[in-house]
Structure 1
Amino acid sequence: MNKLTLRTLPALLLAVFSGAASAAAFQLWEQNASGLGTAYAGSAAVADNASTIFYNPAGMSELTGYQVSVGVTGVGPSYTFRNDGSTLAGNNGGDAGGWHAVPNLYLSGRLTDKLSLGLGISAPFGLATEYDSGWVGRAQTIKSEVRTINYNPSVAYRLNDKVSLGFGVNYQKIDAELTNAGGVLKGDDSTWGWNAGALFTLSPAMRVGLSYRSSMKYTLEGTLNGATPVRADVELPDTAILSVWQQVSDRWEAMGDLSYTRWNSLKSLNVISRATGNAIPPAGETFNYDNAWRIAWGAAYKASEMAKIKFGIAYDRTPVRDADRSARVPDNSRLWLSLGGQWNAGRHGKVDLGYSYLYVRDPDINMTKNGTTLRGSYDASAHIVGLQYSVGF
């Protein structure tokens, strides 16, 4: 089966559900826009719309009737390179970042007092960097693009007034393209995973959420330079989240988040010829990622019966080691500074608007590959804006 033959609907969906990385490496936290204003603090405990399906499916037990939540976030990273002794002549590559949209759609319904069902469609991972073709690092990379789309049917069951449990199945598709001056590597695949969560209502004013998303194991199949059939095994990481939400007063809510992502599942991308079974080392990539964690705190202030103001801060530790940083993913640890608002129109639904500025510690690079050395540093940052509409019936 030729997996690179165009299949119209999946190809269109993958084109829509693409995005540039905003969290560490090429993970995307932006699975709703309603959490953007609080830097996604409390993501597994807030459960105020159907997007809880992604962060903690047990949160559907907090929703009444039938719920729809749809949104989009615009992710705009910037990576500008400053050369400092690279071996090839050329320019600095321009800005390798750029704006990309990350949409989402969630549906949930409470069937009984205890049982709820839902479906989420999202993009958990994404990468998009592209340099000028004549830049000093062209032998190592020009374009890097990873797109995913995830279908997540889920169920939640309320055990009692204190405890709810949730479980979901994930069917995820990936499409990747990596290029440099020497060639083009393309491949795609689909796979299955799962997610689960628990929500503990300690009091009417406090909830604690625990959730877990499994790793996703792919065997990418495609071509090298449009001719040589190749494959490569890739395992994208699993993530665990601990969240707290608290109603501090009639007007104030506070929330916190601690997450841990096991990026050490991604050590390398070994490209294998499907015809001979032999490795093609120049086409591969070395990652050697460490595990990473993220911590966030946020708050919301009820300014009126219809309006909330949100703000938050987060620290996102990179899994990328300094010695293994590549121009494909010029990542480093980052600080999120977030602000948002919500307009609640009652039976007509809620609209959330959020913004985050990501201050990224300038990444240095000293990578030798394909007979060349790329040496220098980056000015890196990102802007994220998001809009979400949620309504119940």
Structure 2
Amino acid sequence: MLKHRLTRSIGFILAASAVGVQNPAGAAGFSLPEASTAGLGTANAMVANPNETGAFPYNPAAMGFHDASSLSLGTIVIGPGFSVETASGEHDSQGADWLAGPMFQGMFRLNDQWRLGLGLTAPFGLETRWRDGTFPAVSGTVKLPVPPPLNPKVPRGNHPTASKLEILDFSPTATYRVTDDLSLSGGLDIYWAKTAQLDSTAGELRGDGEGTGLGFNLSALYRHGAWSLGGAFRSAATLALEGDYRALSPTLVALGRLAPTQEAELDLDLPWRLQIGVRYAVDDRLAVEFDVTRTGWSEFKELKIKGKNTGAPIFTDSNQWDDANAYRLGATYQLRPETQLRVGYAYDETGQGDDRFSARVPDNNRHLFSLGLAQALGQGYSLEAGYMYVVAQDRDYRGDTRYLPGGALNGTDALNGDYSMDAHLLGLELVKVF
């Protein structure tokens, strides 16, 4: 019976992984913490919840408090909007109107103490598309790091045009219930970059299905009466991306600085994440949870594109982000035995300062407002739905008048503008407990 359930769950994973993942607006930076519909409905305040299956992707240790195996399969769709007003007028990012990503979680009870889990989420992603002409042409020249006697000067300007990252996380975990009130868990995060596209006016990097990385996760959940305390840590990881780079600067190609096309590679550093939370069950119906999430964006120092065969640098974007916090408040209310209502609010800080601001990820502090509903259908089935509205504080960016070495524009006045962003997120998930 267990073998049949495992086979069926693998089939669900393969089906879900075929769904496109493009994540521009779930949280600050290029993070998407919405790992379940329950999380979507509570603004991701789930790490201390011992009752909901939707807490498993946030804190696998929660599996220890469930005596039945379960499968959940769903999707999240995102309607993002980015815009910027520059000296040339107002411009909208030309990304897709609606984007979709998978949510899958399987939990298998082995005995009274042990549980095995397998999850599939899309924790990171990005899509922005700025038409050429969004940012003003830049006059002047900058020396490139080329040995003499070439040491040429070429026109400044490496504006981001199209950026797209689709990253999936396959997460196998094992959970051990130490006592009736304490559960511990550990597992792996196996990242796969389904798509990588980093285009600018200087060149285009395209990769499809290339790039993997490995991290780990540790979590714990403790319950004492009406109170529960949870914590989960996911390590940093580096994805080794590969693709084809096409140079768009005829000057650099003519000087022999770049080949017209070449195989390239890029190490993409993903941040670590620490989430801790406390939950209080006011009564049998109402429970409230407060979480704090710390994201290690300082890991995301730079994007360095290198030739795969030569190892020579092609281009480097300096980011120099800072670690940032998110504060999450969520509540669940059992309206009827078969119906649960959810609500949440979060304030998510950006890790991107002005020193190396980039229009590739035009980020700022964000407010997240969410609602959710879970309805039991009988025979162990339940249907869950959630909605979130995300709005970023407008960012009136005025950069430094100096240009960075190598022609990069991050943090310079070439990207001056008034940036705004909002997004609508919808989630739908089917859960089976058996």
Q: 1:332 aligns with which of 364, 371, 374?
A: 364
Amino acid at match of 2:233: Y
2-structure distance, mates of 1:72, 1:237: 24
Say whether 1:199 aligns with 2:231.
Answer: no
Q: TM-score, normalization: structure 2?
A: 0.81
Task: Tell me the CA shift for residue 335 of structure 1.
Answer: 1.0
How do 1:97-136 residues align onto structure 2 when only pairs under 5 Å count? 97=95, 98-136=97-135
Tell me the SS of whatever aligns to 1:246: strand
Which residue of structure 2 aligns with residue 6 of structure 1? none
2-structure distance, mates of 1:289, 1:362: 19
Which piece of structure 1 moves more, 61-70 or 226-235? 226-235
Is the CA contact 1:147–1:176 (under 8 Å) kept in the aligned structure 2?
yes
Is the CA contact 1:51–1:120 (under 8 Å) kept in the aligned structure 2?
no
1-structure distance, mates of 2:94, 2:219: 37
Which residue of structure 1 aligns with residue 151 of structure 2? none
Which residue of structure 2 aligns with residue 389 of structure 1? 430
Call closer, same or farther: CA 1:346–1:137 in 2, change over 3 Å.
Answer: farther
Which residue of structure 1 aligns with residue 235 of structure 2? 214
Tell me the SS of whatever aligns to 2:326: strand
Is the CA contact 2:85–2:91 (under 8 Å) kept in the aligned structure 1?
no
Q: If you compute each CA radius of gyration, which structure gives the higher value, 1 or 2?
A: 2
Q: 2:323 aligns with which of 286, 291, 294?
A: 291
Say whether 1:232 aligns with 2:252.
Answer: no
> Number of residues paired by the alignment?
376
1-structure distance, mates of 2:282, 2:36: 24
Which piece of structure 1 moves more, 146-155 or 96-105? 96-105
Call closer, same or farther: CA 1:137–1:24 in 2, change over 3 Å.
Answer: farther
Say whether 1:317 aligns with 2:349.
Answer: yes
Call closer, same or farther: CA 1:193–1:14 in 2, change over 3 Å.
Answer: farther
2-structure distance, mates of 1:81, 1:349: 45
Call closer, same or farther: CA 1:312–1:53 in 2, change over 3 Å.
Answer: closer
Which residue of structure 2 aligns with residue 260 of structure 1? 294
Tell me the SS of whatever aligns to 2:92: coil
Q: 1:17 aligns with which of 14, 21, 31?
A: 21
> How far does the alpha carbon of each residue in 1:296-320 deviate from its partner, in whole angstroms, 9 at most, with x for none?
1111222222222211111100001
Which residue of structure 1 aligns with residue 308 of structure 2? 274
Say whether 1:151 aligns with 2:170.
Answer: yes
Say whether 1:28 aligns with 2:32.
Answer: yes
1-structure distance, mates of 2:15, 2:111: 37
Which residue of structure 1 aligns with residue 65 of structure 2? 62
Amino acid at match of 1:38: T
Identity %: 31
Is the CA contact 1:14–1:147 (under 8 Å) kept in the aligned structure 2?
no
Task: Tell me the CA shift for residue 51 of structure 1.
Answer: 4.2
Is the CA contact 1:153–1:168 (under 8 Å) kept in the aligned structure 2?
yes
1-structure distance, mates of 2:102, 2:266: 28
> How far does the alpha carbon of each residue in 1:85-110 deviate from its partner, in whole angstroms, 9 at most, with x for none?
xxxxx664423454211211111111
Which piece of structure 1 moves more, 187-196 or 133-142? 133-142
Which residue of structure 2 aligns with residue 95 of structure 1? 93
2-structure distance, mates of 1:298, 1:49: 13
1-structure distance, mates of 2:336, 2:17: 39
1-structure distance, mates of 2:331, 2:126: 30
1-structure distance, mates of 2:168, 2:342: 29
How do 1:367-378 residues align onto structure 2 when only pairs under 5 Å count? 373-378=414-419
Say whether 1:246 aligns with 2:280.
Answer: yes
Q: 2:188 aligns with which of 155, 169, 176?
A: 169
Q: 2:199 aligns with which of 179, 182, 191?
A: 179
Task: Tell me the CA shift for residue 12 of structure 1.
Answer: 9.5
1-structure distance, mates of 2:265, 2:66: 43
Tell me the SS of whatever aligns to 2:179: coil
Call closer, same or farther: CA 1:335–1:353 in 2, change over 3 Å.
Answer: same
Is the CA contact 2:305–2:313 (under 8 Å) kept in the aligned structure 1?
yes
Which residue of structure 1 aligns with residue 83 of structure 2? 80
Is the CA contact 2:326–2:349 (under 8 Å) kept in the aligned structure 1?
yes
Tell me the SS of whatever aligns to 2:373: strand
RCO (CA 8 Å, sep 6+): is it higher in 1 or 2? 1
Q: TM-score, normalization: structure 1?
A: 0.89
1-structure distance, mates of 2:98, 2:50: 29
1-structure distance, mates of 2:274, 2:43: 17
1-structure distance, mates of 2:128, 2:392: 16
